[in-house]
Amino acid sequence: MPPYAHSLDDRPEAEWEPLAEHLEAVGALAAEKGAACGLGEWARLAGLLHDLGKTSEAFQARLRGDSSRVDHSTAGAREAVRRWGLAGRVLAYAVAGHHAGLPDSADLHERCARADLPLYDVDFLTLPDTPPDFPFAPADKDLGLSLFIRMIFSCLVDADYLATERLYEPEKGARRGRAVTLDALRERLEAYLTELASSRKESRLNPDRRAIQDACRRAGGRRPGLFSLTVPTGGGKTLASLLFALHHARAHGLRRVIYAIPYTSIIEQTAAEFRKVLGDDAVLEHHSNHPYPDKEDDEGRRAHDKMKLDAQNWDAPVVVTTNVQFFESLFADRPSRCRKLQAIAGSVVVLDEAQMLPVDYLRPCMAVLRELTANYRVSAVLCTATQPALTYSKDWMPHGFEGVTEIAPDPDALHERFRRVDVREIGKLDDDALADELAARMQVLCIVDTRRQAAALFQALRDRAPDDGTFHLSARMCPVHRRERLAQIRQRLDDGVPCRVVSTQLVEAGVDVDFPEVFRALAGLDSLAQAAGRCNREAREARGTLHVFTSGRESNLPDWQRRIACARAILDRGDDPMSPAAQRTFFQRLYALERERLDAKRILNLLGEHPRKVSVRFREAAEKFKFIENPMEPAIVPYDETARERIDALKWSETPGALARGLDPYVVQLHPREINALAAAGALEVLHADAKGNAGYRVLANRDLYKDDLGLCPEDPTYLSIDSMMN
């Protein structure tokens, strides 16, 4: 009787899936996915070996009802090492980790040496006597081998998921796969740009925008690798970068376009723009705040199910995601996070607002981009108005990039032609003096760095300008609320009526607003440039003004102080702080100061510890590589009637997961100490707690804590006493 891979409920054994068929199917699928970057044969062998332990009598007994746990993933790892030595150890990591995650080297060694491992049979497989050749030499000695293993792992786990899905849920296969080609998307974008050019209001900036687009078309044929796209705010870099990506993909047979963006607020805006241009069938928006379409009819159910499936392995022509999702997946150890990595191979990756990559993880991020572009048919684009100084220099970036190709036509000249804002330093202003300055202007934006100051300044400004044109923006407003406020703000700006806005730096993250004047608390030069990007975007005035002030409320965090010091040095020289040259100098100074912190967690040491011994600490590296070190926790706000109806449905649902996703637009992220204080005050209702008392979903029970002007205010002394909640 042949061994089986999977049983089928209420079906005779003769109809169960034979193990040999499963291994061959997974091997073939894994090879197909690995072919995009030359590791198809490695992935095929991982697929053939991954469930070898299921040949044991103990596992076959489990399929027939024995409840004993059986290790079925170590056998294939041991066989790989036994047959192929160090090369087999490369495969062993992927095989051993295909359920529980990539192990550290010590754990892998211990598992392969187990004396009590159930006996397995390998004679029914046809395996080569020698392992495949390595398809390429690693470009980065600290990271190359570990990424190679991760890519094999990704091909294996995605193939295993898909093969098992075909057995148990064959109807899902019809919902997978793309509905449109990249060529068709390129044609849609070109048609949209033609229509936009004919309908757009005449502006002195339009010829330069078209010149940028033409440069992106031409650069599409350039050799794949590392690119930069340095376009001033207002230059249309979002669609220009998409134009390059689609032309480049066509020229080189690349498979998809992936946008990695630092903030969800930019993602929502970018994905909405892409859907408008390319169609809903083209864009996968993958981040925590994005709800899948409501399943109210057959069409809605199909869209909902397809998006959920596509998000598992990024099987979509255009993916818009967060930096957190993109980079943490590339350093992850869990199968569910790593499954999508094989989709990155053969893609154009656009890093929007590239200067936002966190300094503490800059070296690992650069190392993985270097390896992807060298060996995995990836072209990466550093896309921003404030290009960071990431090219090689022994003084500030000894591990920097070499051979980066600039796409934009003469960024320095573009800056001069797009220059719409003058920078004016106005010294120190306390909140009262600042509120007086803002109240004296009809349309103005003020950006500060703490929620506490933003709330206090908003209150002071509203006292001075009591009309209905004063607004506040912060991350303590749920996404639906922020979108409503931004729509009101844009409408008032267009109508030429009073519009005074106080915001945290949230508004700098690519939010499309256009004020004649902006006030900005002193910060890093990149932040000042982003603030200037919210001013006179369409050159309605000859010059807008960015007023830079200090308030005594600046953050005391050392990294923030270093950024201010670097900006101060450039401002004191009298140079144009918005110019590409000044931005380069700012980042050069900053990286020189931060040089020892560019890999603060020593991630690369863990991944390249003993490359010749194939000794890698995957699990430890994954635990340490966290862009957000102190993760926030979600609270659902009953903001409007739709939210209240969904919360009520969530309370009584036996399968709350899908309903909870629909509530993401009503979530505010809070510090754990804030969650604890709200819970202690009885201001939170916990839904679907598990048996251990862990909260499933937290709902704000005291709606009075959510203000229509400020958002969620857990520090409001009227209700609670929580210190230091708005830093």
pTM for the model: 0.89
What mean pLDDT do residues 471-499 have?
Answer: 94
Per-residue pLDDT band at 570 (split at 50, 70, 90): very high
Most confident segment among 356-370, 460-474, 572-586 = 356-370
Distance of CA 567 to the CA centre of its chain: 28
pLDDT of residue 632: 84
Query: DSSP for 336-383?
Result: HHHTTHHHHTTEEEEEETGGGS-GGGHHHHHHHHHHHHHHS--EEEEE
Residue 148 clears pLDDT 50, i.e. is over it: yes
pLDDT of residue 321: 94
Catalogue the E-assigned strands of 562-666.
Answer: 633-636
- If DSSP states are collapsed to H, E and C, what string results for 382-409? EEECCCCCCECECCCECCCECCCEECCC
Residue 53 clears pLDDT 80, i.e. is over it: yes
Six-digit token pair at 174? 């019809």
What mean pLDDT do residues 274-302 have?
Answer: 64
Distance between CA atoms of 461 and 501, rounded to whole angstroms? 9
Six-digit token pair at 102? 């990539």
Tell me the pLDDT tens digit for each residue of 9-26.
Answer: 888 988 999 999 999 999
What mean pLDDT do residues 374-384 have?
Answer: 96
Distance between CA atoms of 128 and 137, rounded to whole angstroms? 22
Residues 6+ apart with CB under 8 A from 234: 205, 418, 420, 533, 537, 538, 539
Six-digit token pair at 621? 């590296």
Strand 347-352 and strand 256-261: the pairing is parallel
Residue 304 clears pLDDT 60, i.e. is over it: no
Separation in Å, CA 603 to CA 368, 621, 641, 660? 12, 6, 46, 34
Distance between CA atoms of 38 and 685, rounded to whole angstroms? 52
Q: Is 646 in contact with 480 (CB distance < 8 Å)? A: no
Half-sphere exposure of 621 (CA within 13 A, CB side): 33
The amino acid at 525: L
User: How wide is the angle at C-alpha 452 spanned by C-alphas 450 and 457, nearest 5°?
Assistant: 100
User: By mean pLDDT, which of 120-124, 292-296, 448-452, 578-582 is the weakest?
Assistant: 292-296
Tell me the pLDDT tens digit for each residue of 514-543.
Answer: 999 999 999 999 999 999 989 988 777 778
Domain boundaries, the chain: 4-175, 182-414, 420-577, 633-712
pLDDT of residue 592: 92
What mean pLDDT do residues 438-444 have?
Answer: 96
Per-residue pLDDT band at 300 (split at 50, 70, 90): very low
What mean pLDDT do residues 140-147 have?
Answer: 91
- Class of the domain covering 182-414: alpha beta
pLDDT of residue 176: 63
Distance between CA atoms of 57 and 71, rounded to whole angstroms? 12
Q: Is 318 in contact with 257 (CB distance < 8 Å)? A: yes
* CB neighbours of residue 273 within 10 Å: 16
> Quick one: what percent of the chain has pLDDT higher than 70?
92
* Residues constituting the chain: 727
* CB neighbours of residue 53 within 10 Å: 24
Specify burial of residue 1 (Cβ count, 10 A radius: 0-12, 13-18, 19+). exposed
| Mean pLDDT computed over every residue of the chain | 89
Distance between CA atoms of 523 and 500, rounded to whole angstroms? 21
Distance between CA atoms of 649 and 277, rounded to whole angstroms? 35
Fold matches, 182-414 and 420-577? yes
Q: Residue 314's closest CA among 260, 278, 375? A: 260
* CB neighbours of residue 296 within 10 Å: 9
Per-residue pLDDT band at 174 (split at 50, 70, 90): low
Six-digit token pair at 643? 């939210």
The CATH H-level (homologous superfamily) assignment of domain 420-577 is P-loop containing nucleotide triphosphate hydrolases (3.40.50.300)
What mean pLDDT do residues 411-438 have?
Answer: 93
pLDDT of residue 337: 93
pLDDT of residue 45: 98
